[in-house]
Structure 1
Amino acid sequence: MLILHRAERTDTLADALAEVLAHPLGDPMRPEIVSVPAAGVERWLAQHLARRLGAGAGDDGIAANIDFTGPPRLADAIVAAVLGDTRLNTSGSLTAPDDPWRAAELTWPVLRVLDDRVDDPALDVIARHIGAGDTSSPRIGRRYATARHLAELFDRYGRSRPSLIADWAAGHDLDGAGRPLRDDLAWQPGFWRAVRAEIGRPHPAEDLAAVCDRLRTDPAAGRLPERLSVFGPTRITESFRQIAAAAAVHHDVHLFVPHPSPRLWADLGALVDPDSGNGVPPRRGECELPELRNPLLAGLSRDLQELQLRLAPIVDRDLHHVPRESVLGDTALHVVQSGIRDDLAPAPGLTDTSDQTDTSDPTVSADPSVEVHACHGPERQIEVLRDRLLHLFAADPELQPRDVLIMCPDVETYAPLIRGAFGQAGLPHPAFDLRVRLADRGIRHVNPILDVIVGVVELAAGRVTAGDVVDLLGAPPVRTRFAMTDDDLDLIREWLAHSNVRWGIGVAERARYGLERFRQGTFDAGLDRIALGVVAEEADDEWLGTALPLAGVESTGIDLVGRFDEFLDRLGRVLAELREAAPAHRWAETLIDAVSSLTATEPAEDWQRAQAIRMLSEAFGDTRPVEPEEVLRLADVRDLLSALVSGRPTRSNFRTGELTVCTMVPMRSVPHRVIVLLGIDAEVFPRVQRIDGDDVLGVDPLVGERNPRDEDRQCFLDAICAAQDALLVFYSGADPVSGRRIPPAVVVSELVDTLTGLTGVSPVRRHSLHGFDARNFTPGGVPGIAGPFSHDASMLRGAEALREPTRRVVVAAAEVLPAPERTPDTEDIDLATLIDFHVDPIVAFVRQRLGARIPDDDRPHDDQLDVELEPLDKWGIGDRFLSRMLTGVSIGECEAAELRRGTLPPFAFGTRELRAISRTVTRLYGVVEPLRTGTPTTLDVLVRLPDGRRVHGTVGDVFGDTVPAALVRPTYSKLKAKQQLSGWITLLAVAAAATQGNAAARSVDSAVLIGRAPRGGGTSTITLRRPADPVPLLHDLVRLRDEGLRRPLPLPLEPAYTFVENDGPGRRSTFSLANARRNFDDRFGAAHDPYVKLAFGGDVLAEVDFDDLLDGATPDHRTVGGVELPMGDDEPLFAGLARTVWVPLDEHREGT
């Protein structure tokens, strides 16, 4: 007898199942067979039965000897049992044998047939899809994915439309419903028959009719137990339906179906044809469904209606169970559930108006039993969820985390956010004490060894970049294997950057891109440099072969170099094996070897290694070589591993006492006091229905066949009915960047409109963009919460700061600090410090006076091989060449060293760059060398200023055996303001020392600056002549520094230089200021300098205009620090400062 049990609540059905199971089977040792749709339902059902079976007055029962299994495995086991192919386990429960027609096992024979018959003209469309005959085609990577897809289709055909498989097995190319296949699908029957021949045994669907006949005629067929139970299905495959109907002839088959509406069951039952249970189901568009009044019931219950259409004709007994105690009240949730149960229509004309309201709109319902939270993006959803749960726990001390279920259609996106918001013990937020269990994330997020293996396979498919390799080395199992610390990883990153490693372990990775003759930039080349740097110095030209020693590798790093070398050697060996096509068993051996050679775990986590090895072995089938055996390529293995590490819910991940987070399917009908639906956004839920053109079922579906979009809608309906006290729905209702309103998913709109129509108020709560909005801390600021909504103390401080009067932005340029206290340490002024100040007075104020530093933007390590050098890289090479040539190294030796440094682009690109730099350096050297006559001299200068302070320093590069001598300053840079001012101040110090008795300094007549020409590849020479009276000029510069340490002087270097260059007798200062302004606003101008922004805008992100500098003045701005500035009354301070610094230099400058 087939007995249908239905109820609005799953816990009521569980009670009914307990009553059935309370009557023991004839054989007390035989287990009860209970089929469940998901692991989460299994865990909950086992716990629920344990409180009922064998219980006394309390909840002290026990549930044992129950065999929980999924409907597909139960169907397979019954078919195999009837055919005499079942193995009974020791407890007597049914166990399905290994079936080559299951999707996972079926992939391999499909792959073999695909390879064998790819030249068949009938399979031309597949041959083109997988790039058959061209191993270099990127389409060849679709081979395994195509085979797996076909295997999944064939598996689905057998379960959902067994008549199709029967037709194909009989040689009829039909769709299983009496119609010929479309032309674009006509290749499938012949291909399926070839797969059947390859397997060598019939498909279970071929035997389905015979199995059902035996079950109907022979009570002992399959030695089935006298009772079978199926709990909680909302959709049943056609093959399972036929088996259940046949088994019910001589056995009790109990179907426990959650159904939300007795009214719907009665209305639809009146339309069911009693004879429709026989034969092929009707097509979906041909079935008649009742017109429903309740929008939720009408829009979300298509799956259940089709289930009833297929079950009703075969049901022998229909039992409707009502709860022992009424669970419905007058809350909004119970109103919605009653409306669904009784098919009630909402009041006409009442719709949600929350889209035009804010969070304090009185039309928003204060009933906490149904809430729809519209937030600004996923992060804000998590913040609001966290605070809402805390309020629920505070309002009901009996509510426990295990009573709350969070379902999310996109767990992978929300999982990191959930991890960051909950379960962080020791942090100052009450939600951090709530432990969360993410129930069905991908296995790679649970087992880091599998994550490493997937990462290694991805590396093999790519270029093996420096960043990816270091990331792999930083993975916990790899770190453990090679004993890497955080400091070790930082040092390795530094080595790789300095040795110019870009991508590729060796030239093997380069060969695929035609770069096998270019070894520089590979890990092999970089490691040679690193290892050689342990025993040799870069400056000594002690290169070996093509390796130049890397500077800065300390002897203490020898052990780290060895461990890194071992890691690269093992990784390179694994990657080389992964790039070769090989039989499946060889792939399993290679990946298992990678587990052993690249990973290690602590003893307590050794299960990770065992699990990884077991799963890899199973994924590739029997690891022993067999004939014939399919050959797999790297792209095939990538697809295989991708399926292997996808989300896998396990029984132990549910009902652990923690907050459970899972996708929509595993626990959708399991009752919880609080159901949370998170991330119900229109773009992800319900899933967009994309018809697979290769799917015979999807192209023309029959009643009862799977439809992902209808399945998602049914999940939403199940969740509504499963909530006992509260239903909370979260979605992104506004863009977090633009603030633009985002419409909710259709199912959310239906819920909101239905509830609004039934109650007259909207359940939508629109939340602020930020957690520190004052409304979150104002009692009643969020509807439904009497007190403050947020529990976040850090956000409270932000809200309090916003409520305070707007503070004036402190702009350093507007403040004047007291003069630095003079001490013996500050009495004398270092020449280098004075130069640093005038080269950039604003930076010097922040660094020298405030003792602060704005972090530089780290230049990321480039993983690309450049075909053209960046300007900074060109300068670095040219500067090295010029410096080394001035020490006597030839240009050829410089080039040889640079070729081994690995900085140059490959082949002709690098040659062109190197020749251009060498030509420029050679020209510079030709100008500089004649000036470097005699023995270079280093001068110690000490200048006493009129105020008693002294300027001291050391000046090198003084050349000239006879009088006059000169400071010779060569540079690969162009002679811009920085080089000129630095040379000028140095010359002033030497000249001033000469006037105070320094005999060696008296011979210095000038400073000669040599650099690249402003345009072209030539050179530029500037000569600065010694002034007649240098001490007052040097004193003015010192006094300007004194003032510049009290407040930032409006004197950016390049604009000041540009101003003076365009200034002069007969010229209006407005013309000079306009040119300075253009320089300031230039792409690389001072307007973009964070120090300028901080000093004159109050923040490193502030927008600073040139006028902000011109406005800076003192009450008597013609005198600064005792220095009389050459400026008119109507001129800005900037003009006077620029002339004071630059006019003396300009008057003593020769050349350009």
Structure 2
Amino acid sequence: MDPNDRSIQIHSCHSPMREVEALYDNLLAMFEEDQQLLPGDILVMAPDIETYAPFIQAVFDMPGEVPSVRGESRRIPFGIADRSARRESTIIDAFLKIIALFGSRFGASQVLSVLEISPVREKFGLSEEDLELIRHWVAEIRIRWGLDGENRRQMGLPDFSENTWKAGLNRLLLGYAMPGKNEHLFNGILPYDHLEGSETLLLGKFLEYTNRLFSHVTALGRSRTLNEWSQTLTGLLNSFFLTDETTEREIQALRRAIRNLGDQQALSGFDEVVEVEVIKSYLRNYVEREGFGFGFMTGGVTFCTMLPMRSIPFKIIYLLGMNNEDYPRRSKALGFDLMARYPRPGDRSRRNDDRYLFLEAILSARKRLVISYIGQSIDDNSLIPPSVLISELLDYIEQGFELPGEKGGGISDRLVTTHRLQAFNPEYFRGKDKLFSYSEENLRAARCCLEPRQETARFITTGLSEPPEEWKTVELVNLVNFFRNPAGFLLKRRLQMSLEEGYTTPTLIEERESFDVKGLERYTLEEMLVEKGLSGRDTRDLFSVVRASGQLPHGKVGEYRYYSLTPGVREFVDRIQRYLAGGGLRPLDINLDIAGFKLRGQIVSLSAEGLIHWRYAKLKAKDHLRMWIYHLALNGVAPREYPRRSFLLGQDEVWEYAPVEKYEEILEGLLHKYWIGLSNPLKFFPETSWAYARQVFKKGGEREEGIHSARKVWMGSDDKHGKPGECEDPSYRVCFGKANPLDAEFQQLAEEIFGTLFMHQEGRTSK
């Protein structure tokens, strides 16, 4: 045997993806070696092509003309055959999803998933951006499942109408007609107040879609003859799918399946009515069984399943997935199958059929036979034996051939190529005979693997130039926002960087109604109740409004949960009103000139007691920071008759801030840090810095103890139910990378900012 003979190759890989990547590079090498070889001369087969279809599309579906390391195009035309029509066509899948809605819960994501298909969206004049806004509406008005209360009753469940499609769509419609202000009901419906201008046109299109969908699906409940079903399904198809040159082939395939129903009635003479479940089963089986007939011998590389009678000669035959567990395929005999229990000579054996298919593939290869299998564990790199057919083939070759100068053995090592775990392994670019790659991206990655690891450089190393002088005119609210996240303020306001832009997460659609009120839902509800309570509304009278919004569990549970929250809210409102009892004072305008800075703004929520801020939750560092900065400004502008104290109220705590004599000096220090932070990111992180300063100033701990407390907040908890660390903030990760920012600069900033705050702060529980 010629040592350079490559007519038979066997490739051992770690995963199906690596098999396809190795296949791709091998095909490029074959085209480079044989200028007469065409993509249509190559057949790639697998025991089940559906397993490999996503990997084939990921590797072969390259946009445009992608160059290789040699500068040539790497795009190879291909077609995948033997796929079921449903898996091949999003339109057929969407059509079956619509029919499957009958008898379902009409879950919010089920209904919206049909709109994700572009021909359906285009039929109703909707875009992807429109769909995202619709998803936002559905989440906001808390549609979960069910058409209405009657639909739920038909399922044997309580007929509550909350969180149904009817309740949610009524809120949208009424929101277009009249404002609700989250407190006024009309006929038991709470209007949705957040529709704007042109969004009403989108609402009309969405309502057209839902009305058409629900009417068509509910109509499927009537029994019909096969011919009537053919007409009904044709009408459904025409109502939801736009036909053009890109969708015509798939829609025609559906029309054939639907038309076949009427043909079967005419041929069989069966005129009885049948239920929709029979039609569902027929369509599912039809599209699973029938493909489009495309993908086979289309001029590109053909991918297909290994089937009998497919012994068509090709120059190159490539077999994927020749794994020990997968091929030859095992027959799964049923317990009552007596033929399998008592086999006789002449009975068909699936394993023997697969052996014959393997032999057919060998005989069909005119120039080259290439076989690949998963021969190494992706977890621990342990060896996995190939299919017994590969072992038998290698044994046969070993018995009949030998390499020049070698006696007994060595051929298997020559035929089998053992691939590496990653396609960017440097071994592929060392010029070796059996390991090679044409990927320029993988070459760059391989070079990076060989380079010594370096610490990630800071985003801003030398500092920015000072901002223009107009930045020295500072709004008080902007000063507060700066100290809430100095790095984020620098990136967003000074550099105009939005870390979220282009990475928006799709709105999450829930399909289960609330069984409790907790987390963010509870906080939002309680904040709304506090606001209404302070405006004079009795929180006990708002139950019907909250229930209509869909925030509560259904029935008595929701009523109980609501009225278990209101006592705490009323007590908190009463506490706030005690501080406001002396009567409100007029707001104060802020106009302070400090060390070249102009501090501007307004202070509201003033009473005879002083400045009052509140939040119905456990207070955080950002709440104390905001209170402190406003308190300093109050001490700078308050007339003699105004109090110079401030009060910060939390759910179970009250913090009093005493008058500050050196307010100007402290504000000057804060403004100076603000100015530095516009050019260099400050190592000030509100929650982490608060934990450090509190340990040092409030608890009298050493700096090492403060750093220990700060590190816990910075890193967060490893527990899956724990809070993420402050280090997860994108702006901190951009500015500081993986470096540890809890250094001397961090300690100094925390001490300077929070030290004076603690000196003027006195706290007590409200219980």
TM-score by structure 2 length? Answer: 0.88
Which of 811, 816, 837 is residue 482 of structure 2 equivalent to?
Answer: 837
CA deviation profile, 1:399-457 (whole Å, cap 9, x unmatched): 11111011122222322332333354524246664321222211124554432222223
1:807 pairs with 2:454: yes
1:821 pairs with 2:463: no
What is the Cα deviation at residue 511 of structure 1?
3.5
Name the SS for the 2:654 alignment partner. Answer: strand
What is the Cα deviation at residue 801 of structure 1?
3.0
Give the stretch that moved more between structures: 899-908 or 490-499: 899-908
- Give the structure with higher Rg (CA): 1
Checking the alignment, whether the CA contact within 8 Å between 1:425 and 1:432 is kept in structure 2 is no
The 3 A distance-change label for structure 1 pair 809 and 424 is: closer
Which of 711, 725, 733 is residue 1094 of structure 1 equivalent to?
Answer: 733
Identity of aligned residues (%): 27
1:1147 pairs with 2:755: no
Checking the alignment, whether the CA contact within 8 Å between 2:499 and 2:731 is kept in structure 1 is no
1:412 pairs with 2:54: no
Checking the alignment, whether the CA contact within 8 Å between 2:182 and 2:545 is kept in structure 1 is no
CA separation in 2, counterparts of 1:489 and 1:938?
Answer: 44
1:677 pairs with 2:310: no
Amino acid at match of 1:1090: D
The 3 A distance-change label for structure 1 pair 491 and 650 is: closer
The equivalent of 2:533 in structure 1 is: 885
The 3 A distance-change label for structure 1 pair 841 and 608 is: closer
The 3 A distance-change label for structure 1 pair 609 and 1084 is: closer
Which of 426, 432, 438 is residue 791 of structure 1 equivalent to?
Answer: 438
Which of 724, 729, 750 is residue 1138 of structure 1 equivalent to?
Answer: 750
Amino acid at match of 1:765: T
The equivalent of 1:969 in structure 2 is: 613
CA deviation profile, 1:663-712 (whole Å, cap 9, x unmatched): 10166411111001123334433323211224343333333333223222
1:937 pairs with 2:586: yes
CA deviation profile, 1:564-621 (whole Å, cap 9, x unmatched): 2122122212332445666655654543332232223126744543431331343587
The 3 A distance-change label for structure 1 pair 1056 and 824 is: closer
Which of 453, 460, 468 is residue 95 of structure 2 equivalent to?
Answer: 453
Which of 303, 318, 328 is residue 686 of structure 1 equivalent to?
Answer: 328
- The within-5 A match list for 1:492-641 is 492-507=134-149, 510-511=152-153, 514-539=156-181, 541-578=183-220, 587-602=229-244, 605-618=247-260, 622-623=264-265, 629=272, 631-632=274-275, 634=277, 636-641=278-283
What is the Cα deviation at residue 743 of structure 1?
3.3
Which of 765, 769, 774 is residue 426 of structure 2 equivalent to?
Answer: 774
Name the SS for the 1:407 alignment partner. Answer: strand
TM-score by structure 1 length? Answer: 0.60
The 3 A distance-change label for structure 1 pair 680 and 870 is: farther
Which of 645, 661, 685 is residue 1052 of structure 1 equivalent to?
Answer: 685
CA deviation profile, 1:95-128 (whole Å, cap 9, x unmatched): xxxxxxxxxxxxxxxxxxxxxxxxxxxxxxxxxx
Which of 977, 980, 990 is residue 624 of structure 2 equivalent to?
Answer: 980
What is the Cα deviation at residue 982 of structure 1?
1.0
The 3 A distance-change label for structure 1 pair 594 and 393 is: same
What is the Cα deviation at residue 460 of structure 1?
3.2
CA separation in 2, counterparts of 1:421 and 1:534?
Answer: 48
Checking the alignment, whether the CA contact within 8 Å between 2:182 and 2:190 is kept in structure 1 is no
The 3 A distance-change label for structure 1 pair 681 and 890 is: farther
CA separation in 2, counterparts of 1:594 and 1:377?
Answer: 42
- Cα RMSD of the aligned pairs, angstroms, is 3.2
CA separation in 2, counterparts of 1:501 and 1:540?
Answer: 17
What is the Cα deviation at residue 923 of structure 1?
1.5
Name the SS for the 1:379 alignment partner. Answer: helix
The equivalent of 1:134 in structure 2 is: none
Which of 272, 287, 290 is residue 648 of structure 1 equivalent to?
Answer: 290
Name the SS for the 1:1031 alignment partner. Answer: helix
CA separation in 2, counterparts of 1:944 and 1:781?
Answer: 76
CA separation in 2, counterparts of 1:1140 and 1:545?
Answer: 58
Checking the alignment, whether the CA contact within 8 Å between 1:426 and 1:432 is kept in structure 2 is no
Checking the alignment, whether the CA contact within 8 Å between 1:830 and 1:952 is kept in structure 2 is yes
What is the Cα deviation at residue 541 of structure 1?
4.1
What is the Cα deviation at residue 1030 of structure 1?
0.5
What is the Cα deviation at residue 1031 of structure 1?
0.8
What is the Cα deviation at residue 1037 of structure 1?
1.9
Which 5+ residue runs of structure 1 have no aligned equivalent?
1-329, 332-364, 784-788, 1014-1019, 1114-1132
CA separation in 1, counterparts of 2:537 and 2:382?
Answer: 65
CA separation in 1, counterparts of 2:63 and 2:689?
Answer: 56
What is the Cα deviation at residue 466 of structure 1?
1.9
CA deviation profile, 1:331-354 (whole Å, cap 9, x unmatched): 7xxxxxxxxxxxxxxxxxxxxxxx
CA separation in 1, counterparts of 2:244 and 2:212?
Answer: 21
The 3 A distance-change label for structure 1 pair 434 and 830 is: same
The equivalent of 2:633 in structure 1 is: 989
What is the Cα deviation at residue 1002 of structure 1?
6.5
The equivalent of 2:405 in structure 1 is: none
- The within-5 A match list for 1:59-458 is 367-422=5-60, 424=62, 426-429=64-67, 433-458=75-100
Checking the alignment, whether the CA contact within 8 Å between 1:422 and 1:432 is kept in structure 2 is no
Checking the alignment, whether the CA contact within 8 Å between 2:65 and 2:73 is kept in structure 1 is no
CA separation in 1, counterparts of 2:308 and 2:588?
Answer: 82
The equivalent of 1:953 in structure 2 is: 601
CA separation in 1, counterparts of 2:395 and 2:605?
Answer: 84
CA separation in 1, counterparts of 2:175 and 2:213?
Answer: 23
Checking the alignment, whether the CA contact within 8 Å between 1:987 and 1:1006 is kept in structure 2 is yes
Checking the alignment, whether the CA contact within 8 Å between 1:374 and 1:733 is kept in structure 2 is yes
CA separation in 2, counterparts of 1:1010 and 1:512?
Answer: 50
What is the Cα deviation at residue 379 of structure 1?
2.2
CA separation in 2, counterparts of 1:638 and 1:831?
Answer: 64
Checking the alignment, whether the CA contact within 8 Å between 2:28 and 2:74 is kept in structure 1 is no
CA separation in 1, counterparts of 2:382 and 2:476?
Answer: 58
The 3 A distance-change label for structure 1 pair 623 and 598 is: farther
Amino acid at match of 1:1144: T
The 3 A distance-change label for structure 1 pair 976 and 669 is: same
The 3 A distance-change label for structure 1 pair 1070 and 1088 is: closer
What is the Cα deviation at residue 726 of structure 1?
0.8
Checking the alignment, whether the CA contact within 8 Å between 1:465 and 1:502 is kept in structure 2 is yes
What is the Cα deviation at residue 719 of structure 1?
0.7
**Taking CA–CA contacts closer than 8 Å with sequence separation of 6 or more, which of the two structures ends up with the larger relative contact order?**
2
CA separation in 1, counterparts of 2:124 and 2:282?
Answer: 28
CA separation in 2, counterparts of 1:770 and 1:1002?
Answer: 75
The equivalent of 2:647 in structure 1 is: 1008
The equivalent of 2:576 in structure 1 is: 928
The 3 A distance-change label for structure 1 pair 1067 and 448 is: closer
Amino acid at match of 1:872: L
CA separation in 1, counterparts of 2:169 and 2:272?
Answer: 39
Which of 498, 508, 512 is residue 860 of structure 1 equivalent to?
Answer: 508
CA separation in 2, counterparts of 1:918 and 1:383?
Answer: 62
What is the Cα deviation at residue 944 of structure 1?
1.7
